[in-house]
Amino acid sequence: MHPITARRRAAGLTLEQLAMRLDVFEEEARAWEEGTVMPSPDHAAALCRELDMDFNDVYAALREGGAPAGHHSSARSVDVAAMRASGKLTNIPGPTDGGSLEVLR
């Protein structure tokens, strides 16, 4: 069982309830638990609050699930290449795995 799923169940939440609390579609929350996409930084922070987890633990659990780095769920499409070229995105050191996070400036 995925660590996020285990924490959600331990908190007594259904997937539908968690999705409603995070203001996302249930399918999006399911994709996080299945490890097919990473939540946006805002949603990852909300997961921390809802599941009483540290960000590093949430990030590690999501990576363990297999979501590719940089493949975030989003309600809108973003031209990441154009944002990089314009200087609106920058890399910062990642939590503890030696990787990095791409963030808006």
Residue 22: per-residue pLDDT: 92
Residue 20: per-residue pLDDT: 94
Q: Which two tokens stand for residue 70?
A: 């940089």
What does the chain come to in residues?
Answer: 105
Residue 70: per-residue pLDDT: 46
CA 103, chain centre distance (Å): 13
> Domains (ranges, CATH) in the chain?
3-75 (1.10.260.40)
Q: Which two tokens stand for residue 50?
A: 């809802």
Confidence of residue 87 (pLDDT cuts 50, 70, 90): low
Arithmetic mean of pLDDT over the chain: 73
pTM over 0.75: no
Residue 16: per-residue pLDDT: 95
Closest CA relative to residue 53, chosen from 32, 36, 73: 32
Specify the range with the lowest mean pLDDT, choosing from 1-10, 35-44, 61-70.
61-70
Sign of CA dihedral 48, 54, 55, 61: negative
What percent of the chain stands above pLDDT 70?
Answer: 60
C-alpha 87/C-alpha 102 separation (Å) is: 12
